Amino acid sequence: MTVSIPHEIEVWPRDLSSYRHGNIGIDYVHRFDSGRPGPHVLVNALTHGNEFCGMVAATHLLDAGVRPLRGTLTVSFANVEAYESFDAARPFDSRQLVHNMNRIWSPQWLDGSEDSPELRRARAMRPAVLAADHILDLHSTSQAVQPFWVYPRRARNALAACAIGQPAIHMVMPSGLGSGVPLIQHGAHGLPEGDDGEGGVALVAECGQHFLRATAELATEVTLDFLAHFGLIDRGPPPGARGVAQMRVELLRTVVVRTPEFRFARPVVGFETFDEGELIATDGDEEIRSPCARCTILMPAREPVPGREGVYLARPLAN
C-alpha cells in the first residue's frame, strides 16, 4: 500500500553506521571539549525517525569537523532505530516505533517499568541530555508550513530565539505540552526560571516539511547560528541581529485524539486561524471549538490516531 505525501522526497536517509561509535560510551553521541571555559551545548537530531533535517545538520557538524572554540559541543542522533525503518512507500511511519520519543522525558517514563526502543534509547541518552547547559533539538513537520520555534515560557529561551532570529515564529509553552514531557524539558531545563532569569536555554526548531531540501538547509543554518550565539563558533550576525520581525503565539491547549472519528471542520495544514467559538474539529460526540479570538492551530494531525496529539491551539502574544 502506498500513501500520498504532500511533497517530493528531496532528502533521503543516509547510512549512519559510521557515526555509531561515539566517544562517551553512548552510541551515536559525540562530544568535543575545547579545553577552554564555556557552555556545554547539545545539538540533537532524529528525536523522530523521519525528520531528516536534523540528520543533515548533525552530519554536517561531524563531517566538516566543527569543533568548539570554547566550552563543549555534543552532537547526538536520537531515534536511529526508527530512522532505519524508513520506507518510501510509508514515509510517515518511521516517526516512531512504539513511543513518541519527545513525550517520555519524565521520571515516570524513564524510571518506570515499560519497555520500548524509544524508552531504551532515551534511558541511554539521559546522561548526555542532563550534562548539557543549552539544547537545540531539531525537528520538522508533516506539512510545508512556516518554520517555528517551540520552547517553555522562560525569558532565557525567548531572548536566545529572538537573537538567533530564524525561525521568526515562536510557539511558547506556559506549562509544557500537556501530553508528555519533551526532551527540552528534561532535568533542570524543566525547572522554573530563577529570579535572575539565568539558566540553560532549550529550544526546538521546527524547520519545515520533513523531506524538503530547504528544511535541511534551514536546520543547518539554525544549528550554526545557535552555536555562534553561545560563542562556540565564529559566524556572522544571525538574522535576528538584522531586525527580522518576530511573531509569538502561546499554547493554550493540546488536543489529544480520543476516537477514530476525529475530523477537522475544514481542510487544514497548520497556522490557520479561527474566531472565538468557531468549530475546529469534532472527535466522536465532542466538539473542539476555538477558545479565543484569532486562535491559531499548529501541527494538525495528518492522520489522527487515538491517543496521539490531534492539534495544538494557540493565541497570539504581543511582541
pLDDT digits (tens, 9 = 90+) for 124-174: 999 999 999 999 999 999 999 999 999 999 999 999 999 999 999 999 999
CA distance 297 to 291: 11
Cβ-based neighbour number of residue 142 at 10 Å: 23
- Which residues are 281's β-sheet partners? 264, 288
- pLDDT (tens digit, 0 to 9) for every residue of the chain, 319 residues total? 234 455 689 999 999 999 999 999 999 999 999 999 999 999 999 999 999 999 999 999 999 999 999 999 999 999 999 999 999 999 999 999 999 999 999 999 999 999 999 999 999 999 999 999 999 999 999 999 999 999 999 999 999 999 999 999 999 999 888 889 999 999 999 887 664 456 799 999 999 999 999 999 999 999 999 999 999 999 877 665 566 789 999 999 999 999 999 999 999 999 999 999 999 999 999 999 999 999 999 999 999 999 999 999 999 997 6
Residue 146, amino acid: Q
Could you tell me which of 152, 176, 160 has the C-alpha nearest to residue 222? Answer: 160
Structural domain spans, the chain: 17-242, 252-317
Residue 170's H or E segment, with its range, is: strand 169-173
Q: Beta partners for 296? A: 273, 314
Q: Cα–Cα distance between 288 and 278 in angstroms, integer? A: 9
For residue 112, the 8-state DSSP code is S
User: Are the beta carbons of 39 and 133 closer than 8 angstroms?
Assistant: yes
For residue 240, the Cα-to-chain-centroid distance in whole angstroms is 20
Q: Which CATH architecture has domain 252-317?
A: Beta Barrel (2.40)
Q: Which CATH superfamily is domain 17-242 in?
A: Zn peptidases (3.40.630.10)
Find how far residue 219's CA is from the centre of its chain. Answer: 11
